[in-house]
Amino acid sequence: MFTIERISEILKSTRFQLFIIPFLFYIQLITGLHSINEKSRYALILAIVEDRSFIINKYAHLTRYIDVSLYNGNYYSDKGPGLSFLGVPLYIFGKFLVNSGFLLFEIPFYIILLSSLATSLSIVLIYDTSINIFQISKNASILTGLIYGFGTIALFYSKSFFSHSFAAFLLLLSMYFGMKVTKYDENKESNLFVSGFAMGLLALIEYFPFLTIIPLTIYLIKNKIKKELLFFLLPIIMFLGIHAIYNYVCFDNPLTPPYYYEQSEDMSVIGYYIRTTFLIGLYGQLFSPFRGLFFYSPILLLTFHGTYKFLNKHRYETFLYLTSFVMILLLFAAQEWWGGNCYGPRYILPVIPFVTIPIAATIEDYKSNKLFWIVFSILFGLSIFNNFVGAITFSHETFLSPNPIWASLLRVLDGKIDIGLLGHRYIRIIYAAFSLFLIGQERIHNLFKSKLQTKNL
């Protein structure tokens, strides 16, 4: 039952604040659908709601007929359909509000909320994983969650309708409940079901991260989860069945995925990046100014010490994280690792939490070291800056430049800022008022508590 005291306790909780404050910040950055990747998924939503069909012929022009699949003379989205399925009720809700005269937001705003929601929930999951799985202190766990939410490309993709933010959340969720099974004896079946449900939904949204089911299954079996494994596999089979039905309806074959017939964009404009090799792909994803993970987020350099510490105390869990990260990194190293018109190494965003969480151990080890906090502040500040300048701009020319961070900064200095709701006066007032409320909620909680005690007397 939601009493005043219970509501006050929820508002007071660390988890709620770790969720709501980033979420309110992210939604202020939303400016609409810009890339053809986003519009391909949006076209499928339009077709489902408006035409009761998966055929997007009427909406394929939104993508300039790129990032779509062409089969038997009909256009389809070339993306996994899961995110579009999740966006359908939000589209209906947004359309209802707009048709009712509530014109503060356009309909795509409500759909992009999925990404803002996923990134905010991922911050909470990183916090819970650090505390419950790796036994890290509360303060270090909070800081680690914020590193992911504001110091990585998760900040940029929280305002976009790409699939990577939601894929990262689902992968985190699946891994978290999978590891809980081996750490705690209670609720094994339900934890395995949640882990499998998240992994199955991931298969419906983004394909390559789903391959991490291999190391996760090995991890579970290695930890003597065998008879109960069915609870993990059943929801995965269910979602794979849903995808097979979708494939059959669209392409007359349950095993033919949407991208099989995709119409791709000519990326020769990128120059030598198109003539890639495996080593260029590794360098490009990790260190290059163009898409380098550690260039965009130098704070992640602290993961190396933390990973070493985790290997000593949590060997299997660390191997699970490392294997998943390296698997996705290598899969894209020799192919289209640059990701087209985007900001940062978007293809590896779903596994970035796995190199973020070990930073908590680094913070624990050096929490009393003043020099560490100086270095930490510089790295974190630079990471926030690098990702924020991208989040407040959107330009295809900028994102395809050799150094998108520098190009974005020049665009900001030139006054070409894409600030979304940050520019809306009433939204700023609401956000500031709510932030002050959260800051003062301890006094509010104590006030309710004292009143209840007085009433009981």
d(CA 165, CA 314): 26
On whether residue 337 sits in a domain, the answer given is yes
How many domains does the chain contain in total? 1
On whether residue 121 sits in a domain, the answer given is no
On whether residue 17 sits in a domain, the answer given is no
On whether residue 220 sits in a domain, the answer given is no
Per-residue model confidence as pLDDT tens for the chain (457 residues): 567 777 777 778 999 999 999 999 999 899 889 899 999 999 999 999 999 999 999 999 999 998 999 999 999 999 999 999 999 999 999 999 999 887 778 899 999 999 999 999 999 999 999 999 999 999 999 999 999 999 999 999 999 999 999 999 999 999 999 999 998 877 899 999 999 999 999 999 999 999 999 999 999 999 988 889 999 999 999 999 999 999 999 999 999 999 999 876 554 444 434 456 889 999 999 999 999 999 999 999 999 999 999 999 999 999 999 999 999 999 998 788 888 889 999 999 999 999 999 999 999 999 999 999 999 999 999 999 999 999 998 777 788 889 999 999 999 888 888 766 554 545 555 555 555 555 555 554 555 555 445 555 5
d(CA 154, CA 168): 9
On whether residue 24 sits in a domain, the answer given is no
pTM given for the model? 0.91
**Which positions ≥6 away from 426 have C-beta within 8 Å?**
none
Residue 442 CB: number of other CB atoms within 10 A? 12
Hey, CA dihedral for 52, 54, 57, 58, is it positive or negative? Answer: positive
Q: Which domain holds residue 372?
A: 266-415
Helix (H) or strand (E) segment spanning residue 34: none
